[in-house]
Amino acid sequence: MQPIHRFTLDNGLRVVHMHDTRTAMVAVDVMYDVGARDESRELTGMAHLFEHLMFGGSANEPDFNGALERAGGVNNAWTSPDFTNFYELLPAQNIETALRVESDRMLALSFRPEVLEVQRSVVIEEFKETVLNRPYGRAMHELRDMLYKPAHPYSWPVIGLEPAHIERVTDADVRAWFYSHYAPNNAVLAVVGNVGPERVRELVEKWFGDIPRRAVPERTIPADAYHTARDTGMWREIDDRVPSPLVLLAWPMAPYGAEGYTEADIITDILSAGRASRLRRNVMARHPELMAEADASIIGSEHDGMLLMDCRVVDNSRESIVRARECLLSEAFALTVPANITRHELDRAINRFEARQAVEGLSAVEMARRLATAEIHGENLDDELVRRRKVTIESVAETARKIFLRSDGATLIIKPES
């Protein structure tokens, strides 16, 4: 691994850099410590809307995308419940262009009314496309509503609860969100590529050093995140315009970095990663007449997350839906007993993670994202791999018991309309 350099500007901007001479390119990644968890339930979707607004021009650069394209670069962004991330990839000799335009939109957006109107329309159309008009599009809305209490910001997805929230966003809302969250002291800048540490520091200080610190509000997340089986329905069935039934199971799980988080991720790898996974061998291969697809995953979060299992049922009969759910639960419950887990399965899950990290290491964009994420977490790049290598069969089974044997899991069934 190439050496990693870190420094912090006087305004609080944390910078992490990896000098990679094997490439002619450079990746620039700016990760802001703001996401959907910072919204109110009365105005959801703001973090995602702002991802779009950040491409609408800034105080001194009205054409963000054009400036990067002229420098031979490409760029994109993503929003999660926890973070908002922007990145560019361009020839290393043109790194100053990326730093210049990124610093300018951190300094101040243009706040032109037409930008808000255009991006408002784009986000509303995206909501219609991905939620209202896509089969199973409301699944995450329903699951989050079932699992989390309404006061918790994970009870709605990143795209928001409903388009009406985005429709009523005002210029004052936009300015308040920007000046409360888009601050150098609330961000990490990661640079990976063929630019030396001295040059990176010189350019970062030149373009970001004068941006003032801002008052970032203290984040308050309710400690009591989840519903219990006593105060909400843990089973929900929905008739929708879908081609076949979908069975979704969800359980609470530990936050990132907490005890059991890494084991939960390994559990879903054992269940669904690769052709040798349990869902492929024990469920799909043995019952092709019952289900077409089956999967398991985690939604790893900075606060209380969720572990998911799902399957697409071949026919619409009640018997098949119940049987498919029982097949998923059987594989989950099997992992609660250490004797049912093999050393080969655990090693395979750890090796797959290590191989994935090695592949990501070949991409400057992926490496910059990983560096920025590690810096926000206050850890080293390889800490998660170290944690995985310490996982035992017993700790996997213990985590499986804590997750699968609790009473506040949720079952969501989405069926074709009759």
- Residue owning tokens 């315009």: 241
pLDDT at 408: 79
Residues of the chain short of pLDDT 70, as ranges, are 1, 229-233
The SS3 of residue 407 is coil
Residues of the chain with CATH 3.30.830.10: 4-208, 235-416
**Do β-strands 84-91 and 246-253 pair in parallel, antiparallel, or remain unpaired?**
unpaired
Return the CATH class of domain 235-416: alpha beta
pLDDT at 274: 86
E-assigned strand segments in 1-95:
4-8, 14-19, 25-32, 74-79, 84-91
β-strand partners of 84 = 32, 79
By CB atoms closer than 10 A (0-12, 13-18, 19+), residue 233 is exposed
Look at the domain 4-208 and name its fold. Cytochrome Bc1 Complex; Chain A, domain 1 (3.30.830)
pLDDT at 2: 83
For residue 113, give every residue at least 6 positions away whose Cβ sits within 8 Å of its Cβ, in sequence order, or none. 171
Distance CA 143, CA 409 (A): 10
pLDDT at 214: 97
Phi/psi zone of residue 111: left (φ > 0), alpha (ψ -120 to 50 degrees), beta? left
User: In the structure encoding, which two tokens stand for residue 390, read together?
Assistant: 């310490």
**Do β-strands 4-8 and 14-19 pair in parallel, antiparallel, or remain unpaired?**
antiparallel
pTM: 0.94
